[in-house]
Amino acid sequence: MLFDLLPVLAYLIASISSAIVVTRIMGLQDPREVGSRNPGATNVLRYGGKVAAAATLFGDVLKGVIPVALARALGASETIIALVMLAAFLGHLYPVFHGFRGGKGVATALGVVSAVNIWAGLLLIATWVIVSLLFRYSSLSAISAAILAPAYVWWRVPSRQILIATGIMAALLLWRHRSNIRKLMAGTESRIRF
C-alpha cells in the first residue's frame, strides 16, 4: 500500500513550482507572466538574475531527486521507481497547485535520472554543457540531452521499466520544446550569454 502511494507523493512534491516559490520570496514577477512565460530557471534567469535562477534550478532538480531517492531507500520495485520517476516529471510539467501550467521539465528530469544513477545524471550535465558551449542555445542543449537520456540510462541501469520511463520523459521533453525547435530551425531562438 505504501509503495502504491509513492507515485502520488512524487506528483504532489513536484507540483510545487520552484520558479513561482522563488520569485514570490524574492519579490519578482510571476514567471508565467513575463518573458517566455515558462516557470523554469532559464526564464527566471532572463529577468530575475543568477541567484533566482540558481535557486529555481536547485529546487527543480531536488523535486526530482527526493521522490526517486525515497522510493529507492524504501526498497521499491523497479516498476514503482519508474512510476515515481514519471509522476515527479509530470508533476513539474502539469502541477496541480499551479493550474497545471508547469515548466518544460529539464531540471526535474535531470534530478530524476540522477537519483536513479548519478553517472547517467553526470552524462546529461556534460551533454548540456558541451552543447551549450558549442552552440550557445539552452534549448538545443536540453533537446540533445533528452535525445541521449535513454541511451545513458540504459548503459548505466539496464532496466526495461526505467528505460521506458526515461523514454517517455524524453519524448515529453521534446514535445514541450516544440516551439524552441521551430525557432532553432528559423534561426530566431535566443542564445545563452556567458
pLDDT in tens, the chain (194 residues): 678 899 999 999 999 999 999 999 999 999 999 988 889 998 998 899 999 999 999 999 999 999 999 999 999 999 999 999 999 999 999 999 999 999 999 999 999 999 999 999 999 999 999 999 999 999 999 999 999 999 999 999 989 999 999 999 999 999 999 999 999 999 999 888 76
Does 44 map to a domain? yes
Does 52 map to a domain? yes
User: Which amino acid, one-letter code, is at 25?
Assistant: I
Range of the domain at 23: 2-186
Does 128 map to a domain? yes
Does 31 map to a domain? yes
Is the dihedral angle over the CA atoms 147, 152, 158, 162 positive or is it negative? negative
Does 132 map to a domain? yes
Distances 13 to 70, 120, 168, 179 between C-alpha atoms, Å? 12, 23, 20, 27
Does 193 map to a domain? no
Based on its alpha-carbon atoms, the radius of gyration of the chain, rounded to whole angstroms, reads: 16
Does 60 map to a domain? yes
User: Which amino acid, one-letter code, is at 49?
Assistant: G
pTM, two decimals, is 0.94
Does 191 map to a domain? no
d(CA 135, CA 177): 17
Q: How many domains does the chain contain in total?
A: 1
